Structure 1
Amino acid sequence: MPLPVCFHCGEPLPAEPLHVRIDGVERAVCCNGCGAAANWIRDAGLADYYRLRDGAGARVDVLPGDYSAWDRADVQAGHASTTPTGRGITVVCEGMHCAACAWLIDHALRREPGVQDVGANAVTGRVHIEWDPARTPLSAVLARLAALGYKPHLAQGEDAERERRRERNRMIARLGVAALGATQAMMFAEALYLDTAREMAPATRDFFRWITFLVSTPVVFFSGWPFLAGMATELRHRRPGMDTLVATSVLLAYFASLVETLREGAHVWYDAAVMFVLFLLAARFLERMARRQASARLDTLARAQPALAWREADGGREQVPVAALAAGDVVQVAAGDTVPADGELLDAGAAVDESLLTGESTPVAKAAGDTLYAGSTCRESAARLRVLRTGAETRLSQLTRAVEKAQANRPRIAHFADTVAMRFVITLFLIAGVVFWAWWQVEPARAFEIALAVLVVSCPCALSLAVPAALATAHGALARMGVLALGADALESLARADTVVLDKTGTLTLGQPRLQRAEAIEGDIERWLAVAAALESNAGHPLALAFGDGRGASAAQVQASPGRGVSGFVDGVEYRLGQAAFAAGRDDDGALWLGDGSRALARFEVADPLRADAGAAVAALRGLGLRPVLLSGDGEATVRAVAGTLGIEDFAARQSPEGKLEAVHALQAAGHRVLAVGDGINDAPLLAGADVSAAMAAGAPLAQRSADLVLAGPRLMRLPESVALARRTRRIIRQNLGWALAYNVLALPFAALGWVTPGIAALGMAASSLVVTVNALRLGRTPQGEQ
């Protein structure tokens, strides 16, 4: 039996819940915050929200927070803009997930004194607010927003926000004009079509034609301007494409109709021109929506950046804009607040929520000295940290740039579709010319109309939308799963992989080795532990965790030998730490040795626990038809044990970076498509040489730069989920391309035979574009197992 949950937010109810009365019915709520929000919604006459919503709302904090700092000019600088009647700002809200949420925000904020306009978008999670600072401060408006359970955050870059709003408003205006004009044009055209007996008086007929001309003109030149401008660009670059065909067809229909109107000819085609513009704009608007949903990850990352930070100064603290922080500053983060910059934790351990960065909802335990990332949230306790990186250098900004880069890149298959569309357009113009000539010989009165129908019905709009719509939706689904696609062809290559090469340390294991046994061959073991810790502390290798923070010693001239170990000077003496042959000139036994290259000083045994989902991930990859191969630089016994636990039959130990790369090349030479997964510096050649590669987010930056994908959290199951999504994307793209080509091939003969009018042709073309767009949007419905 399901547990009772809060009427407002859907959280489990306490033993003695509070109650509110909504629509005459007593409803149980979990806390005073949700109760206050529900009461306010009821008293404001907005209880329809509860009937309209399709899911529970966000939990409301009892104390929504103090937003008075948002009234400061230095905080609003770069985010708020001046409007004719006041100020405007765009914020990103947590908890807004459906149209009912947007409806509630719109109606609730408009009731606040001084608020002039509100625009909430449930797709992007953004709310644009225009207010009069002379009548109400921004903090009061934001407090109302937070009191309803929608916690506001600054959106990044007001200039980009303004441009996005302008683009959206222009698109809506063009679509509105096209819809109104097409409706009117069709109404007048219908009167002309119904005059089958040619009994309409010439003056009446001309009146209808001139009225249709007037309502069609703004549709063609205002609503259709994107296609006209696109045609100019394509012709300037000598690459005719879809816009050239669309604009040509529209202008031909429009000006031919104008000529026929002036000379009182038999036919006009204004309705075909305006319908073509309307349907294409609608299809393009749907595609933009798909792309906008795909970029929602950027909005999620944007809301992770707080507006202000508490910086320690002169024995006290001061509240400053995050942009004013610099490396070395010490900042305080209260419990529940967001970390403003990457920094080193100074105090005792803390539980940190990194879900916005990694997708993992479980708080991560941090100890003094660990790194806290901008965008994460302190859970139970406050924290102090020394700032290491700010602004564009934070991991948050790096992830944002990675998503932007992935969305900007165009993969090979998209270029292929563009090339096919361009050649198809050129061929279609030739076919239309032949059809016009043929019909001119048989029935000149219908020649133009049929040639126009050929151009319209075979417009490769669906072909041009087939790939971009699918890829945009798939990248959005990947981002929600916590996987960043950095390579332009990452999804395509991932779908074709049949072999997965896995590193062990930091990939299949947690990368948190623990010292199991330390044995001194000669001398004092505590001394050798201090030397090992000093060598590893600056080597950037996960083994550093096994030895602590340096134990009071420091190393100089540390050099890493990938796959073998590290060397350096401690108190003027050179030491080596790594494989037995490298460190002590002995035969390899799988342990870690300390020596001077020929003489052994100490022997260490370390263990690194497997990730909790490593077994499930390997099994899932095998279930998808990928053969797992384990390549590790660790000893034979350790690698064999891990392979046996995970059921991996193909494995190799003591693999150098060059050896791993050679193994990948051997697999590729045998005809395999290789997916490589790693995390360390020594994995960079492996990741770069594979057909497609994935790096763990906690791994070395060099490994991430070499990879096509980055798993933003520790959950390894993201890997098979990404493969499954890539294959679904490939399937959807093939379906879209197949449908688009089949439609064009089948529709063209019907139009050439004169069985399709230009108006019906425009409808068929739009339906084809709608089919591929809706089909692509299916990728956004991530299966439950992929959450």
Structure 2
Amino acid sequence: MAAVTRPDPGSGAGSDPATASFDGTPMPPEGWTHCRHCGDAIAGDCCAAGHPGFCCAGCEGAFRLVNGLGLDGYYARRCLDPETRPLKPETDADAIPDYAPHVTAMEDGTASLPLLVEGLHCAACVWLIERLLAMQPGVDHARVNMTTRRLTVRWIPQADQGDTAAPDQGARRVLDPVLRVGYRLVPFDPAALGRDTDRTERALLRAMAVSGFAAGNIMLFSVSVWFGTDMSPTTRDLMHWLSALIAVPAIAYGIRPFARSAVTALRAGRANMDVPITLAVLLAAGMSLWETARGGPHAYFDAAVMLLFFLLIGRYLDSRARGRARSAAEHLLALGGHAVTVVEAGGGTRTLRPEAVPVGATVLVAVGERVGVDGTVAQGISDLDGSLITGETVPARAGPGDRVFAGTLNLSAPLRVRVDAVGDGTLLAEIVRMMEAAEQGRARYVALADRVSRLYAPVVHALALAAFLGWWLAGGLPWQEALLIAAAVLIITCPCALALAVPVVQVIASGRLLREGTFLKTATALERLREADTVVFDKTGTLTLGTPTVQPGGPDAPADPWGWSPDDLRLGAALAASSRHPLARALAAARPGTPALVGVREHPGAGLSWAGPAGETVRLGSASFCKAPADTVAAGPELWLRHGSARPVRFRFRDPLRPDAAAVVTALRARGLAVELLSGDRPATVETVARAAGIETWQAGRSPADKVAHIQALAARGRRVLMVGDGLNDAPALAAAHVSASPASAVDVSQTAADLVFQGDRLAPLLSALGVARRADRLVKQNFALAFAYNAVTIPLALAGLVTPLIAAVAMSTSSLVVITNALRLTRGAPPRPAAAATPPAAPREAPA
């Protein structure tokens, strides 16, 4: 039967087949005490009402449905969480939301609906929901994201199933089996993603505060006992009872996060690090209470509560890191979540949510507004900043017939856009899906401590049980004394050192990196960073500073027949001060303090013009706008200036490399790492940057999907990729990589998707992080060796009955101190600095797409 966290309803093994239920499962001799579907306790009147084995008729119907569809394997695989909504089917029809307003009609005739799943317990739930939906006629896509609880379902309306011409009419039919099983499906709300995480963090913070308060007060009583040389037994017992009065409620409150995890693991037939932690804390507290009740000289409340306090600190910090990583999808969705202005047939306008805009409608995009849909420009000419989507450094001109995408920023003039795709059909939504899929793949990575605990925990528990049974049954000791020996075994083998082996190194490594300007976000980032053997850089804002600057001109500049003079720069900066275009802002910044000219006119997608005092028009903009010769197009971004009929001059721009980019690339290659450049920019610009940075392998014009595909192709060849990027178009690749990094100047989405974020305008923090990761890995392995060596020495003594619980507690604390002291070695040593860059290759090659 099911391995559940709630009490197991029972398998019926060994019972009389004559009492078998409708599905052939024999009823246990004592009858079913817990519901076979949801796992809740069964009230006595349920069996009398004709629902034996179930708490209600709804659960019986759900059980029959799952078995009838041949999906009964769900009950053998699931692991129910007591803190999650039980799988009780909704009996109130009014409580089921109206899904029709949230259904999106797609171009291919299908209907799409994004939902959040309430009652999602484990991976078996994901399997069941996807299978139930896939069995419905017309459904061609059903995917559940375990991390965000997001369900996306897409179907073709079926006339023979009662669906009408409106695609939203099929939503209830498609979702009905999932609702009947007991899952609650609500329309997707990005804000709801973080609510559960916030609630968990608040609970951990409260438990940590209670444990810390209790630990501080119990320590006061313990110090009194330790140094009370003339203390009478009565006074000592009073101190122990006062400690117990504080410790027992604090432990009962603070142990819950670990106990829930431990019970869940045990019910699933496995052991994690929380199993021995929970047993050790509870047994130490229980034995202390026993010793206090019988007037014994030793109690260990201080050790138990202090251990719990430090473990809660680590659990809270881990939850914070996970919550930040989970919020990446929320930031992405927020970019496309702004209201859209729809132009009606009569010329009026109305505001709608992006997903509610019908395909084929016309929307108005004002200056400074982000496009909320994918579509085609119907009217207007403007410049669009698509750097978040494509990585292109220069805004692109958009006019009638040009495609635009959700998330791009309108810079110059209003546009009217005919809607081609909304909601889940947009390029932005595709980036979200790629990120979610990539995060799910990386979430399967198991921390080293958990991998070790799978073997460690069962051995420790078996030894303690063997000690108890051996001394009680074979040794002839009273069970109380045998239990004391077993307690000493568990206490002395309490995985404090093992539990601290990884966290203490992570905390010290995180602190060192933070002092060097690098923020470490995920619990397994150091392990994955140490394994990296390939570094893939984005270009704009990552290898480069992401800010265009004017290349030198005038007499000191390299020979350029169209070079500018200081007077040209002064005039160009005065015109550029009136524009929001990134290149115009860079030109204005080249002569700070230059006042803007009055009467400058902006021509969207072309440039600026100004009527000079002599009646001659001054133009600043594209080559065609300034009537420059056709054969003068530069490899990089440029602006032209023409004063009347005079010869035009050109301002060329470059995005400068980070100061140490070439040196860091050289240092990475010297450490044996392969280095590549992957960019959405133009080939000529990418090749120039690759040459300057000394990178031999590069690709240009890559879309977000192309970047993810390249990362996955490298992974398929056995490479462990460190992806470094800063734009929205890099976010899926950051999530797909084995480990990822992002500069602090990156967009929020990239920072939340990355495993570490580094400050400043240099790449040296990457070298420091790699060095710290490798040292941390060595220290973690040394800590594990010390912990196991300690156990190899002390466990035989404890099994032999030569160790009292007090000595066990002291030895346990000593092992923890040794582990912490060893980890502190990570604070020594200066961060590595990149050496001077070697001469870059003369001709970096473009990698095959």
Q: Return the TM-score normalized by structure 2.
A: 0.45
